[in-house]
Amino acid sequence: MYPLNVLIAEPDIMLRTLYKKTVSEISGYVFAGFADNGDALHSILACASVNLVLLDILLPRFGALEGFRTMRTEFPKIDFIILSSEKAPDIVRGTICSGAFDYLIKPFEWERFERALVAYGEYHRSLVDRKRPWRQEDIDRLPGFRKQLPENSQPAPKGFQETLLNRLFNLLRESPRPLSASEAGRMLDISRSSARRYLEYLAEEGEITVQYEFTQIGRPKKLYSVHYRAKENSV
C-alpha cells in the first residue's frame, strides 16, 4: 500500500504541529510539508507530489472561495479537506460543490478529524486502485459518496432492517469503546442474537471492525467498533 502525501496549509503554528502529529499516526499517510500562506501553497503544489491538502480556507494570500476554485482548476488531481472557522453558508456550500472532500468547522472534535482522514484514505485507494468495472453498489460504498447520501439511499439486504443497521452503526460510532453484541443489544433493546447477526453483517461489509478481548477463563469476547481510533481531545 503506497503512502498518501499530505500538505498542511494552516497559518497557526500550534495547529500545524497537531495536524502533523495526527497525520503521522494514521496508517497510510506521510507528511509532505507546511504552507502558511496561499503563495507558499501554490509553489509547493506546483513542484511536489501531494495527494491531499488540509486547508484553512482563510489562509492569508489565498483568496478564500475564489482561491479554492482556482486551485481545484489548476490542480484537479489533488484533494482538499477544509479545516476552518469560516461558517458562511456560501463559502461552505461553494467549497463542497467545488470538490472539497470534507469540511470541518473549528473547533472540531479530534476524532471527527481522524474519521475524515480514514475516510479519505479509503476513498482515494478505492478510486485509484480499482482494476475491474464499477458496479453501482461499489460506488455507493465509497466514503466520499456515502456521506452525501441519505441513510436509506442504499437498500438493506433481504432479511435486514435498514433502520436497525443504522442504529447499530451510529451506536458504535458514538461509543467511547468497542461493544459486544450483548451490550449493543441491551442498549438498543433487541436480542443478543439479533444484534450479533446485524453486527456481523456490518463487519462483512467493512463498515465496522471486529476485535477479541481475551480473558483467563472462557472464550474470548468479540467486540465491535468503527474504524477510527477515538480520542477525547478536540481542537
> What CATH number is associated with residue 155?
1.10.10.10
Among the candidates 95, 128, 161, a domain finishes at: 128
User: Is the same domain home to 123 and 190?
Assistant: no
Query: Locate cell 481542537: which residue?
Result: 235
Amino acid in the structure at residue 217: I
Bridge partner list, 35: 9
Say what the pLDDT of residue 155 is.
Answer: 59
Number of domains into which the chain is organized: 2
CB proximity list for 96: less than 8 A, separation 6 or greater:
103
State the DSSP code for 225. Answer: E
Q: Are strands 29-35 and 52-55 parallel, antiparallel or unpaired?
A: unpaired
Domain boundary (128, 163, 178) is at 128
Count each helix (H run) and each strand (E run) in the chain, helices first.
10, 7
DSSP, residue by residue, 77-142: T-EEEEEES---HHHHHHHHHTT-SEEEESS-BHHHHHHHHHHHHHHHHHHHS--SPP-HHHHHHS
Same domain membership, residue 81 and residue 16 = yes
Residues 65 and 173 in one domain: no
Residue with cell 466520499: 144
Residue 58 lies in a domain: yes
Q: Which three cell numbers stand for residue 169?
A: 452503526
Residue 231 belongs to some domain of the structure:
no
| Same-domain pairing of 121 and 211 | no
List all residues 6 or more positions away from 144 whose beta carbon is below 8 Å from its beta carbon.
Answer: 101, 119, 120, 123
Asked if residue 193 and residue 120 are part of one domain, the reply reads no
Residue 230: predicted pLDDT: 39
Residue 136 within a domain = no
Sequential pLDDT tens for the chain (235 residues): 578 999 999 999 999 999 999 999 888 899 999 999 999 999 999 999 999 999 999 999 999 999 999 999 999 999 999 999 999 999 999 999 999 999 999 998 888 898 889 889 888 887 877 777 877 767 766 666 545 444 444 556 778 887 888 889 888 988 888 999 999 999 998 999 999 999 998 888 888 888 887 766 656 788 999 864 433 344 4
Q: What range defines the domain where residue 202 resides?
A: 150-225
Q: How far is CA 149 from CA 105, 144, 167, in A?
A: 20, 9, 16
115 and 161 belong to one structural domain: no
- Whether 217 maps to a domain, the answer reads yes
Q: Do 29 and 122 fall into the same domain? A: yes
CB atoms within 10 A of CB 210: 14
CATH code of the domain containing 67: 3.40.50.2300
Closest listed residue to residue 66, CA positions, set 45, 38, 87 = 38
Residue 84 lies in a domain: yes
Same domain flag for 164 and 124:
no
217 and 172 within one domain:
yes
Residue 170 lies in a domain: yes
What is the value of pTM for the model shown? Answer: 0.62
| Residue 235 in domain | no
Question: Is there a contact between 54 and 18 (Cβ–Cβ < 8 Å)?
Answer: no
